[in-house]
Amino acid sequence: MKRLFILAAMLLCAAGLNAKDGDKILAMGYLGFRDDAATLENYQKLAEAGLDMVTLEMDQAEVQLHFDLAAEAGVKIMAVLAPYTDHHDIADVDFESVERLVLRFKDHPALFGWHICDEPNINRIPDLKRIKEYIESLDPEHPVYINLDPLGSIRALGTDFYRDYVETYARDCNLTLLSYDCYPAMANEVVNWWYMCNEAVLATTRKYGIPFWAFAATCWIDREGPNNIHAKPTLENVRLTVYTHLAYGAQAMQYFTIRDFGGTSWSPMMGTEWTDAYDLLKEANLEMKRRETVFAGGEVVKTRFTGLTPFACLPLISSDLPEAVASLDTDFTALVSFVENGDSHYLVVVNSSWKKKCKADLTLAQPCIIIDRAGRASECPEGKNALVIDEGDMLVIKY
């Protein structure tokens, strides 16, 4: 009977039937095209990479053309209502201009939502709430998007605790999605406060019943001096960022950036030409999509850590494990997430390093299913299993 159950579960996984019909992890390209790159071929390149949407600054002359090309390519638009350089401080809003744009494009089939601010301080809440509610009065069908700061940015100050920052925004701005950015892969290590931010975001999205939208870096700013601290994106550190966020319940992955924006030495599009950074974005995103049915529409029940536990997180203890899993040990720190999706239950183990492989000793009380990077399901037998998790990768066990 156990083997029949395992075979049936493998067939369901392969068919993608373990998530609600139509559910998927959204993928957005951040900093989309300017007018000089407004071609159907470019929008089709986004679709080929598995991107569902892209941001578009509405201060351009050919906005209508962008919307029409995006619709033809099957890509949605997140309309940015201020130039990128103004995102951090929308002070004097021209409500007449906003109204004209919203009324003009709110019924366009390419529209996904309205982007009004990036990385605001907590004191921006009254103004942003007013702008958000005004747009919603004009267009109640599309979400209004605000992307929040990570803890490491000075603009996030204004509260004593990061959870207060994200929760106050979620409550006072009545957010319908919670987005924040963090690019954790540094030259030699992962930033130590990243997991604490994710714990705060997970708690807030649970409390308010809203989805988490996360970021991953696909560009590199190569400049001299102490500010050049982020590692150049690789498949391994993009995996680490994406899979960690999925393990915290992310329902959308946002890739920063699509184009260069001044000071960028490596991004998917430089000027109007595609680069090998595009190939990296495409490979990482399509790889994520192959296992999206594990996470899309799912619920993260709890997160724990093996090895050295990051600040504000909890260590994995034996009572955390389901009956199907007798024990789990790793040779260094790994994130362990317990995900429920419909009638399916998953144990997800994410290698915390993008530079070395993680050895996992897994003892099963009954056979389980492992879902690999290609989305293939295979049986993991009862008893002791010595497994290896690649750099930045995750082990997905269906039990």
Which amino acid is it at 12? L
Residue in the structure block whose two tokens are 């594990």: 294
Please state the separation of Cα 326 from the chain's center in Å. 31
Q: Report the helix count and the strand count for the chain, using DSSP H and E.
A: 10, 19
**Confidence at residue 7, expressed as pLDDT on a 0 to 100 scale:** 46
**Confidence at residue 159, expressed as pLDDT on a 0 to 100 scale:** 81
**Confidence at residue 172, expressed as pLDDT on a 0 to 100 scale:** 97
**Would you place residue 153 in the very low, low, confident or very high pLDDT band (cuts 50, 70, 90)?**
low
Q: Using alpha carbons, list the distances in angstroms from residue 8 to 2, 14, 199, 339.
A: 10, 10, 34, 20
* Over residues 150-179, mean pLDDT: 87
329 φ/ψ angles, rounded to the nearest 5 degrees: -135, 145
The residue length of the chain stands at: 399
pTM: 0.93
Q: Is the predicted pLDDT of residue 154 greater than 80, yes or no?
A: no
CATH number of 2-10+298-398: 2.60.40
Q: How far apart are CA 327 and CA 379, in angstroms?
A: 18
Domain(s) labelled CATH 2.60.40 in the chain stretch across: 2-10+298-398
Coil, helix or strand at residue 269 = strand
Both structure tokens of 57: 């600054």
**Confidence at residue 108, expressed as pLDDT on a 0 to 100 scale:** 98
State the fold for domain 26-295.
TIM Barrel (3.20.20)
**Confidence at residue 229, expressed as pLDDT on a 0 to 100 scale:** 73
To the nearest whole number, what is the mean pLDDT of the chain? Answer: 91
Please state the separation of Cα 21 from the chain's center in Å. 21
Neighbours of 263 (CB within 10 A): 8
Q: How far apart are CA 240 and CA 248, in angstroms?
A: 12
| Of residues 388, 397, 370, the one with CA closest to residue 332 | 388
**Would you place residue 83 in the very low, low, confident or very high pLDDT band (cuts 50, 70, 90)?**
low
* Over residues 376-385, mean pLDDT: 98
Q: Is the predicted pLDDT of residue 233 greater than 90, yes or no?
A: yes
Domain(s) labelled CATH 3.20.20.80 in the chain stretch across: 26-295
Which amino acid is it at 181? D
**Would you place residue 180 in the very low, low, confident or very high pLDDT band (cuts 50, 70, 90)?**
very high
**Confidence at residue 20, expressed as pLDDT on a 0 to 100 scale:** 39
Strands (E), the chain: 26-30, 53-57, 76-80, 111-118, 144-148, 178-180, 212-217, 250-256, 269-270, 273-274, 299-306, 325-330, 334-341, 344-351, 358-364, 368-371, 377-380, 383-389, 394-398
| Of residues 146, 76, 159, the one with CA closest to residue 111 | 76
**Confidence at residue 11, expressed as pLDDT on a 0 to 100 scale:** 44
- Please name the residues in contact with 140: beta carbons below 8 A apart, sequence gap of 6 or more: none
Q: Is the predicted pLDDT of residue 224 greater than 70, yes or no?
A: no
**Confidence at residue 15, expressed as pLDDT on a 0 to 100 scale:** 41
Both structure tokens of 389: 């998790």
Q: How far apart are CA 313 and CA 396, in angstroms?
A: 21
